[in-house]
Amino acid sequence: WQLARCLLVQKVRRCHSRTLKKYANKYIMVNLGEIFPNFSAKTSEGNISDFHEWLGKSWGILFSHPADYTPVCTTELARVVTLLPEFKKRDVKLIALSCDSVENHIGWGKDVLEYAKCTFDKLPYPIIEDSGRELAVKFGMLDPDERNKEGLPLTARAVFIIGTDKKLKLSILYPATTGRNFNEILRVIDSLQLTATQKVATPADWQQGGKCMVLPNLSNEEAKKLFPHMETHKLPSGKEYLRLTPQP
């Protein structure tokens, strides 16, 4: 029995190796500001034939997790459930991904909802089935140090934030051992949505409603017209680049 299992595992690994080689030349390095590649996928809520069409005119977050029925992933997806009103307020559509099957996603979803103390019948956002690792390889999501019991690599904790123009606005890759801070992800969305329409940037540790930095490519004359309450921080260099304004 042990020999048969060993041979089976070796066969699966060889098959997986061929899968990785097959899709290696399809790996896409998506840079900030580029259109996020479109794709089709099988999910816990049915098939998505066109990801861009599914997003519509909303912002989107695609986030992967290593595996269903694991502790850190359960806390993460439960946190997303509790923060759903905040994401809706910002018009953000959510979609998760792992290498597990749709059946696993649906079953595990009940555990996630229980941990979130939520009475929904099912998860309020879909999870993509990527058992063949096609999307994980395509978007560079695989964590070589994290493997399942068959020795196959699992997805890392990736986050892709996509704007209404379908362009990538932010990407983060966490290791499997570190759960994500979704309050920080909400803060980033607030910054991205604000700076998409206003000539400001958000400083370190900025929170919604806090002071913003005036973009350095604006002259003082332009800046004063746009931001009449602007303040310039005096510096030893004498340069007037630290200009703060109340959040527009």
The DSSP secondary structure of 46-93, one letter per residue, reads EEES-HHHHHTTSEEEEEE-S-SS-HHHHHHHHHHHHTHHHHHHTTEE
Contact between 191 and 199 under an 8 Å Cβ cutoff? The reply is no
CA–CA gap between residue 202 and residue 48 (Å, rounded): 35
What are the residue numbers of the active site?
73
Separate counts of helices (H) and strands (E) for the chain? 8, 13
Residue 30 C-beta-side C-alpha neighbours within 13 Å: 24
